[in-house]
Structure 1
Amino acid sequence: MTNTTQTTAQTADHAPEHPARMNIAEHVPDVYKAMVRLDAAAHEGLDPVLVELVKIRASQLNHCAFCLDMHTKDALAAGETVERIVQLSAWRESRHFYTEKEAAALELAEAITVLTDGFVPDEVYERAAKHFEEAELARLISAVIVINAWNRFAVTCRSVPGHYTPGQYKGLK
């Protein structure tokens, strides 16, 4: 996480890359490995593209550049389109890009992520419950909670975006 090489997007015209504050995996490897295992367990059996969409949307809401970089790249590698990723921050206005199931998952992800707006509304939960079996819904809720935790690690530690390669952290369980 402390890599200081320039990204392909950086040139003399761009701001310098900020250094990471801390590499959390280095200092608390047991916590990091537990988070990796929790992440894998949370979305086991869910559609990988749906999981990436939810992770991207939560990361947008949490302003987590590191996770946006990672999950956008992972979504593209999983077959997601650039168009749907670009539209994700305005998915309600571009709802026709997403299935009803995806829209319900995105709405639930937003409600779980932005708790300052109040509790997760019953109607949001019920819409998601119409599209997901109970066990699948429990996995989705877990996946949203886990990405929110990852966002908080990355934002707090100032993890540097731009260096992630799709699948880079697979197999760290």
Structure 2
Amino acid sequence: MTTTETAQRVNIFKQSPEVYQAMIALDAAAKKGLDPVLVELVLTRASQINHCAWCLDMHTQDARKIGISEQKLFLLNAWEEVPNLYTERERAALALTEAVTVLTDGFVPDEVYARAAEQFDERELSQLIAVIFTINSWNRIAVSTRRVPPVR
């Protein structure tokens, strides 16, 4: 749902700088030890699902800077349809991202979790789950405060 006119919303980072600092620390801790390409794909996919324009703009730019192809970014919302484009680790991470991001159908399915557990050791899986819940938090902040990216 979009609106053409939006009332001024609170700048949560200005009004609650301790929340911003905590989110920055959580974000850095969550990404530790994970492949940056995998992380950017997860951040972008969750942001697509959550309709977060601010985060989509930021993470697609970051993804291109680290060498993720335009094709991989453009087809991300249909990743299941192009099995030869994404690695098995990326596919497992994307499935887990979708399951953790969209909880309206219930819990994360056992088969999705098991698929991720086959691809990642326990430390990596813990970090991946942390990356997913962190981007969902960032998305919710940006969407609820109507942060929009600059038009370039």
Identity, in percent, stands at 58
The alignment partner of 1:120 has SS state of coil
1:140 aligns with 2:128: yes
Matches within 5 A, 1:1-173: 21-162=9-150
1:73/1:17 CA distance change after superposition, 3 Å: farther
Q: Partners in 2 of 1:47 and 1:33 — Cα distance?
A: 24
Q: Partners in 1 of 2:8 and 2:36 — Cα distance?
A: 29
Residue pair 1:20, 1:160 contacting (<8 A) in 2 also: no
Gaps of 5+ in 2: none
Aligned length: 149
Q: Partners in 2 of 1:98 and 1:19 — Cα distance?
A: 41
Question: 1:86 corresponds to which letter in structure 2?
Answer: F
RMSD after superposition: 1.8
- Tell me the alpha carbon deviations over residues 90-127 of structure 1, each in whole angstroms, 9 at most, x when there is no partner: 11112221000000000000000000011000110000
Q: Partners in 2 of 1:71 and 1:132 — Cα distance?
A: 23
Question: 2:89 corresponds to which letter in structure 1?
Answer: K
The alignment partner of 2:149 has SS state of coil
Q: Indicate the structure with greater helix content.
A: 2
Gaps of 5+ in 1: 1-15, 165-173
The alignment partner of 1:92 has SS state of helix
Corresponding position of 1:170: none
TM-score by length of 1: 0.82
